Amino acid sequence: MDLFRIHPAIGIARVGNSREHVIAPESMAGRTDSADPTLMGGLPIRAGTERDVVSASDLRDTSGALKRHAARFRIFQYDDAGLGEAWPRGDGTEIAIGATVGGKTVSDIVWTVHVANKKANTFILVEDPLKSPGVDNVPGIGGFENGLLPTIRNPDFANTGSGQPPIDKRIDTLNQPDRVRRLTIDPGPRAISGANTPEVRFDRATTASYCDPRTGEIVSLAAYPKSFPRDSFKDMDLDAPAGPIDTLGELQTDEKGRLLVLAGYGRAVGWKINGAAPLDDDVNNDQWFDDTSDGPVTATIVFEDGSHVEAQHAWVATTDPSVAPQILNIVSLWDDIYDCWVRNLDLAPALYADGDYKPDFRPSFDDDLQPIFRSVALQQWIANLSNAGASAHARVGAITAIDDPGSTEISGLVATFRNPFTDGDQDNTALMPLVLGDANESFLTLRKTQYFMLTQWDKGSQGFHPGPGPALGPGEYLDKATLVNCLGGRFSPGIDLTFTMRESALYVQPWQTSGYGPFRIHRTLLDYAALPADTPVLGCGYVPRHAEANGLEPGDLTKFLALPWHTDYNSCATHPPSPNPAGNRKVFWSWPAQRPVAVYAATDVSLLDTTDGAGNPIKQPILGTQRWSMRGQGTDSGKPENWGRYQDREDILDNWHRLGVVVQAPAVDNSGIDMPADWYLEVQSQLRDTGLTPVVPFPNYATETDADTLDPRQLFYQLLNVDDHPQVLGDARNYVDYWLNWAQDFSNGTTATPVDQRFFPYTEQAFKDRLELIYQELVDVADTARPYDPDQFIKTHADVVIRIKQMAPFNLVDGAWLRNIGRTGPIDEVRSLLFSVWMDEVGDGDVSMNHCNIYRDLCHSVGYYPAPIESQDFAFDLTFLDSAFTVPAFQLAISQFSEDYYPELIGMTLQLEWEVVDLKPTRDLLEYFNVDPHFYVMHIGIDNAVNGHGQRAADAVGLYLNEMRRTGGEEAVQTGWRRIWNGFVAFGSIGTFGQDLQDLITTPPTLREQMIALIERKADFGSRNHQEYKIGDCRINDWFDRPSEFLDALEQQSWLTPGDWANSRFRQLLEFMGGPMFRVFTQDEIDLWDAYTVQLGRPKPTPPIPEPRPPARAMADVIDQLRPVQQGSTGHQGALLADAQGMAHTVAWWFALPGEEGTHALMAALASPLNQLITPGEPGNSRFLSQLIAPSGPMGSFFDLPARAPNVGSCRDVVYRWITARCPLPAPTFLSLRLNTPAAKREGHATGRVVGMGTIH
């Protein structure tokens, strides 16, 4: 007797926002694709082909929409194994239309699929008990054991005041017909037959239908009680960001009569109660639907003689998009299901029987072990591993069957992998996998079966087979491949399927004798021929440990997942563990292989000119820096635990389909670069990186804020409108804490910190000495600075205007750090002094004396009319330097917490008021260029160090510390002083504004650079609004990924006529009459287009030859330039350099030393006679130059690189000049460099760079 089974037993279709599709992968991620040995499996298949895998350009349609993944189902014929079926069988013959079975020809195959979405009418998924309080809310399967049930979603969906039902009423509540009808999306079943049959949709307009198993014919169900969100909530406003949910997908067949199940479009819809449909949780959001689904797949084989036979059913789930299809999860869904079947369902008695693993079982290296090793190695492409971490992971991936386990990176296992057989490893944050767990387990562990396989391998060659295991039949292979490509391990709730897949009762039993075989879902048999009138067909359905005997209805697999799926997908980048081990602040990955966290973009790959081993010139591909997979506007945060995701959950509803897809390098077409085949790169991303949240390698720590990840412009705007943005206060405090911590570290420095900024223990004399040092330095600068000095960086009236404008964000909020210093009730003398400073800043009630008003008048006097400072137009005016907002945002932020940062405010007041002498050269500068200096004259008068604000601030320090001594003794004095000095240093030294301003004036951006910046600013919208329009062979939307090349293409394709803007085709697009881009650009931007086009018609000017930098500074610059590539070089892990005490360290260690102090230390080590690398003054006798960094030397290719401007020549040339100059080191002590520092002092400065603002105004 023949058996017929549908495979895969569980199929996975995936959502996309395109009408088009590809076929879901039918090969395994992490395994070599048998059809193409250069590729790993896991890639989708081109629609209409048998197994041609996609390239990057196949992932989106011509409009840029993301294609859906269709689950392809086939039927296989087997010989009846009777009572002896085992797994794997290894046999199976596919049955298609036209095939012959037992002498009869297959004339048709009739498929029936019934999918539904029950997410809104089920139990919550308990992710963290602290977020879902109550004794009945236990994570995972524990919430369904011992009579427990979690609380339900939407207990009051109709806004009638209903509360949570008690446990014993919850299943009954979920079965209430009105709830089922309104909260379940059920289009009913659909049948399809024949070959190449057009789509049959799961929508309201398409009549429900099924195949009658008694006749083998399709029967229409016109009366089927369908339900869609609009049916239940048509009288209420629906929040539908991407459009209504009016379909759950469709069915098609191919030329052989196989079934294709296409998913929905990834939409989410909310119904509003009291005008709102909030998304306030990552997993459980009441008032929302999404369009994922699941349900049974059945097939009837029809023969030419009219007979027919049923195939054993399968199941389909439609779920999230796959954006890293070739990256294998360390624990896949297959691993979870296989572990369940091995330990509970007698799948492999040679491996596990009688409650234990068989000690003589020998796993297959190819099938059981290598996938674990490869999955470890692949993590570097989708997670922010450090260089050292990526190298260690790669070494695990390189383990082969002939390697002695004892010689490998993971020998012994105990020091590497968490042991699932014990509980003791759950608090160990150093063990693998570095991925979070579920159901009250802090961290993921390998499944017990996986770990047992590794213990057998660890015994040595006698413990495992070096090759593949038993061969799978073609249908069995599809079963496994589908599940291998899905997430396992972390089901909180997971994304493809969830924790119920570990439940034995989910599957048809007995699998050996029933004819079903393994892995088939136990389904509820619905009688479509006897539909109840006006009553929902579906109900609550399957409930683990409660309602299992009748099997699963459509919608019962996916209902335990997040609602909508988008919010969980958004959040699952990194998190602190839950429960969190005591003292841990590291954040760990959720499921990076399914939802990548950090990626390498194919568009960032560049070519490095270098040489091969024979000295021949070659171009070597180089990876760019990692980017967050989820990036761009709305994703930036100052909190590492929030990196790489949208900060507002609603944003993911609009942007999920814009994520890029990670594929292996050979699948990256049209790149023009021959890249290593073992690279996995992001392609087809439509997200534009803001650059504000750079990827930081693991480890990252929760709640430690990196100021670079908070946008100072955004903080500035929100803090000036704090009543409208109360949520900004958390970020504001983090921003303040970050910069105060930075200031403390900076002031504790040695060689890299100006001596005037270094911390010192407080005594009255030491305090006076430091103030005198600072004051005298400023007096010296004021006495020697001359506005007409030709070497000063401000040389023209236009330069003065630039300075005035760029200082506006700071000077137009002058005094803001003290804006909340007053308080009700009695005050002491310190607060009185600070308040008097604040009153003077705001003009003491006189509009004409208000400092901000005076500065605004100065702006107007030079033709600059700033927008209101509280407006978005001001904060996001892109003509401002970004760094112009660093300190303004800091003073606005700290002023929100004046009582918490009282000592720091005293220090800030001292810094700004004591250093007023710095303003005399600025006053002279404005006078020289006939600009009204009143703002600066006024400050010089009121801030003086004799009886003005400067002296008041110094007095406030003494008074405050005297009070600390009276109440807390000397220890309290030093604690208070430490905080005062942190505020002093922070106000003057944070950020890069001073140097940025100097660079802006001395090396302004070229017209081309301004044009590229303009294209980048327009990219977010421009890349989505040009449909299929092309320039050359490239879509305009795609050109925005390459702004420099885009600009060239506009000229090459005759859109810009060099020298003639008026007659350029591009200008015509901007015209009022008929121009499709009218008002896309401001007049200033149009003027830029004009100037750039005119310049294209002129001969290119010869660039000036810059002067070399001083040798010590130039050498330090080269070390800083090469640090990123040298630090990660494997060749430097063994090379050693001794320090001054004779202690040897690797070169990589030296390059890892941070900051200028580390740079100076490396320079000293290179020049030290202990290391015999350099003979100062004799380049020809210096082995470092003649051997190590020579063109053919091991470091030669890096020192061939051009030295970064303003240095000249190659990096090797800089080293030559440094050795010739006898290896000078930067001066060990120096004072702060300021914007007004005369050129003579500037040239001899140890760093040559301005730190912080560079001025007080």
The domains of the chain are located at: 2-328+475-567, 365-433+451-468, 572-704, 719-1002, 1007-1096, 1111-1226
Asked if 557 and 294 count as a contact pair (C-beta separation under 8 A), the reply is: yes
Task: Select the more confidently predicted residue: 827 or 500.
Answer: 500
pLDDT at 1140: 82
The dihedrals phi and psi of 303, each to the nearest 5 degrees, come to -100, 165
650 has a pLDDT exceeding 90: yes
1005 has a pLDDT exceeding 90: no
1217 has a pLDDT exceeding 60: yes
The dihedrals phi and psi of 84, each to the nearest 5 degrees, come to -110, 20
Highest mean pLDDT out of 238-252, 298-312, 1075-1089: 298-312
pLDDT confidence tier of residue 518, bands split at 50, 70 and 90: very high
Between CA 318 and CA 115 the distance in angstroms is 9
598 has a pLDDT exceeding 70: yes
1246 has a pLDDT exceeding 70: no
List the Cα angle 402/418/580 in 5-degree steps: 150
Asked if 595 and 656 count as a contact pair (C-beta separation under 8 A), the reply is: no
The dihedrals phi and psi of 312, each to the nearest 5 degrees, come to -65, 135
Count CB atoms within 10 A of the CB of residue 619: 12
Between CA 102 and CA 95 the distance in angstroms is 12
pLDDT at 830: 87
614-631 pLDDT, tens digit per residue, is: 888 989 999 999 999 999
Q: Who's near 840: CB < 8 A, 6+ residues apart? A: 942, 949
Count CB atoms within 10 A of the CB of residue 1083: 7
User: Residue 76 gets which letter from DSSP?
Assistant: E
pLDDT at 706: 46
Mean pLDDT of 691-696: 91
State in words which class domain 719-1002 has: mainly alpha
Q: Who's near 386: CB < 8 A, 6+ residues apart? A: 697, 698
pLDDT confidence tier of residue 666, bands split at 50, 70 and 90: very high
Between CA 1113 and CA 1117 the distance in angstroms is 6
Task: Select the more confidently predicted residue: 241 or 546.
Answer: 546
281-292 pLDDT, tens digit per residue, is: 999 999 999 999
% of the chain beyond a pLDDT of 70? 95
Q: Using CB atoms within 10 A of its CB, is residue 1086 exposed (0-12), middle (13-18) or buried (19+)?
A: middle
44-78 pLDDT, tens digit per residue, is: 999 999 999 999 999 999 999 999 999 999 999 99
Between CA 56 and CA 66 the distance in angstroms is 11
Q: Which amino acid is at 96?
A: A
pLDDT at 945: 62
% of the chain beyond a pLDDT of 90? 63
239 has a pLDDT exceeding 90: no
542 has a pLDDT exceeding 60: yes
Mean pLDDT of 354-369: 97
Asked if 264 and 249 count as a contact pair (C-beta separation under 8 A), the reply is: yes
1105 has a pLDDT exceeding 80: no
678 has a pLDDT exceeding 80: yes
1132 has a pLDDT exceeding 70: no
Q: Which residues pair with 288 in a beta bridge?
A: 270
770 half-sphere exposure, CB direction, 13 A CA radius: 20
pLDDT at 1117: 87
DSSP per-residue letters across 1034-1060: EEHHHHTT-HHHHHHHHHHTTSS-TT-
1027 has a pLDDT exceeding 80: no
The DSSP H or E segment spanning 168 is helix 167-174
For residue 38, give Cα distances in angstroms to 33, 34, 329, 676, 1054: 8, 9, 20, 10, 41
**What is the gyration radius of the CA atoms in the chain, in angstroms?**
35
Mean pLDDT of 382-397: 91
pLDDT at 1229: 60
Q: What's the mean pLDDT when you consider all of the chain?
A: 90
Which of 24-38, 148-162, 1072-1086 bottoms out in mean pLDDT, i.e. has the lowest? Answer: 1072-1086
1131 has a pLDDT exceeding 70: no
Mean pLDDT of 906-912: 91
The DSSP H or E segment spanning 627 is strand 627-628
For residue 1238, give Cα distances in angstroms to 226, 617, 770, 779, 1245: 81, 46, 22, 12, 11
699 has a pLDDT exceeding 80: yes
